[in-house]
Amino acid sequence: MLRDKRGFLALLLPLGFLAVFFFYPLGLILGRSLTAAALPTFFSTPYYGRVLWFTIWQAALSTLLTLLAGLPLAYLFARYQFPGKTIFRALITLPFVLPTVVVAAAFRTLLGSQGVINQTARSLFNLDTPPIQLEQTVGLILLAHVFYNLAVVVRLVGGFWANLNPRLEEAAATLGASRWGVFWHVTLPLLRPPLLSASLLIFIFTFTSYGVILILGGPQFSTIETEIYRQYVTFLRPDAAALLSLVQMIITFSLMTLYTRWQRKTVVMLDLRPQQTTLRHPRTWAEKGALYGVLLVALLFLGSPLLALVLRSFIGEEGQVTLAFYRALHESRRGSITFIPPLLAIRNSVGYALLTVMTATGLGVAAASWLARPSRWGKWLDPVFMLPLGVSAVTLGFGYVIAFRGLRTSPLLVLIAHTLVAFPFVVRSVLPVWLGIRERLRDAAATLGASPWQVWREIDLPIIGRALLVGALFAFTVSMGEFGATSFIIRPDSSFLTIPIAIERYLRQPGALNIGQAVAMSTLLLLVCAAGFIAIERFRYADIGEF
């Protein structure tokens, strides 16, 4: 009985947090959008139609390009064993865990008008203008989206492909099917579930793209995400921002609902095999050439922006190697766009991240402890705890500024937003391991006289400890890179500025020192996120967990 009461109290904590800081702000957005003065003219205004159309087609094209680029890599990782495979997999996954502002800064550093490639080409060929004109174009946005989401295809599709029984393909080839016929009629239908999952995730990620569009697209390209920000912050039109937020939520949740229903109707039983039985080494020179050729292209595509970002942070205005941009991080110059030294923004981000680890892990453990119990409420509460992943951070940030006006100048609201974004990652990291604990271990400890607290301390905690560490690392990394919600909450003159906000503001300003400081901060954030990713891969239980 006591255990049930404690479990119920543990459940109230995350549910209460979601009720106040998730459902309440979204409810206000819904109410304001339905009573907005702009409602009669919203759908008849061509501008909003163009924003919606651009959001959809750039997301669809980004998804298609990512699938085309990712499928060859997924096949190589699924079917071949080769030296350095673990390192390559880590490199492909790293961009996915990077903050969008870092990805945008990396592509501007590589392909911008003052980027590494253009500067090198102008020096070598004595050109007056940059030969590559990709800055503030759709092409650069699409490249960044493919770079960011390639890991989704390799992880989801490649992981599933590696477990398919190769005898199915061999049987089709024996019956006379060509390689293309085997892929089209046998492999592709079997890959349909992970392909659909990957496509849906990539479409949602690019449909709700914010940092990449804002930094790389410029004012001439606007998605629903960036338009919500502009309507509220620039044009002071919260009614239009609320309507856009509602449209976005309807589309996002509709996609997720349609997908889950379609998936249940198309599930098929498969003859899966361990990956060790399906992997082989490349035998012929043609196989080796194709394998290492694709890997080299992937290495150049994924590594070049990150390498350019790091190198640019050490190159001064005259092309000399210098630490001037890092030394300038402690300076607060007159007329600075951030009003505070960049070093203070770094300190703020680390402080937010540490506090987010404590709050998100506490809420995540409380939620996972209830979901791990045998209960009929589990199947209903599990998706409820995942709902923050289905709403964009920009929409959450907008909901906060209209719901908690009294906290606009308080850093507490930033911490709450970061906690809400990180909380589902903790739940999905801890819950699969917790579900694997055998109940008889707890029963044996209780039989020997252990109290519920002792059972938790001596049985549960040692088993879920590594998964809890992974969840904490996720929370820290997510908080360090959070940009969408924070851009709404943080005021321009706030002393609680974070690294991603400072990077975006410095990138918007002319001058080599501003760009250099933005690149230096991006490099530091890149190193922190890379270290967090390596630690997550090191401490997670093999492939247990959903991230």
pLDDT, mean of each 10-residue run, the chain (547 residues)? 56 88 88 69 76 92 95 87 82 85 90 83 80 85 93 84 70 68 71 82 87 84 87 80 84 71 50 58 82 90 92 82 85 58 87 94 86 66 77 86 80 91 86 69 65 64 76 88 86 79 84 84 89 76 51
> DSSP alpha helices (H): ranges in 131-187?
138-152, 158-162, 167-174, 179-182
Whether the CB-CB separation of 360 and 422 falls below 8 Å is answered with: yes
Whether the CB-CB separation of 303 and 95 falls below 8 Å is answered with: no
pLDDT at 336: 55
What is the domain-level CATH number for residue 64? 1.10.3720.10
The verdict on 59 and 186 lying in the same domain is yes
The verdict on 395 and 506 lying in the same domain is yes
Which residues span the domain enclosing 187? 52-97+134-304
CA distance 280 to 285: 14
The verdict on 294 and 417 lying in the same domain is no
The verdict on 409 and 536 lying in the same domain is yes
For the record, the structure tokens of 98 come out as 């990077």
pLDDT at 266: 47
The verdict on 23 and 164 lying in the same domain is no
Lookup result for tokens 């290495």: 299
Q: How far is CA 192 from CA 119, 141, 164, 198, 271, in A?
A: 44, 27, 12, 10, 15
Structural domain contains residue 530: yes
The verdict on 22 and 68 lying in the same domain is no
Structural domain contains residue 316: no
pLDDT at 306: 92
Neighbours of 442 (CB within 10 A): 17
pLDDT at 117: 87
The verdict on 299 and 408 lying in the same domain is no
Residues near 316 by beta carbon (within 8 Å), at least 6 away in sequence? 322, 324, 325, 512, 516
The verdict on 415 and 470 lying in the same domain is yes
Question: What 3-state DSSP class applies to 177?
Answer: coil
Count of the separate structural domains present in the chain: 2
CA distance 229 to 227: 5
Closest C-alpha to 103, from 541, 544, 537, 522: 522
The verdict on 270 and 372 lying in the same domain is no
CA distance 215 to 484: 12
The verdict on 84 and 164 lying in the same domain is yes
pLDDT at 123: 80
pLDDT at 2: 41
Q: How far is CA 28 from CA 32, 423, 486, in A?
A: 6, 22, 19
pLDDT at 509: 79
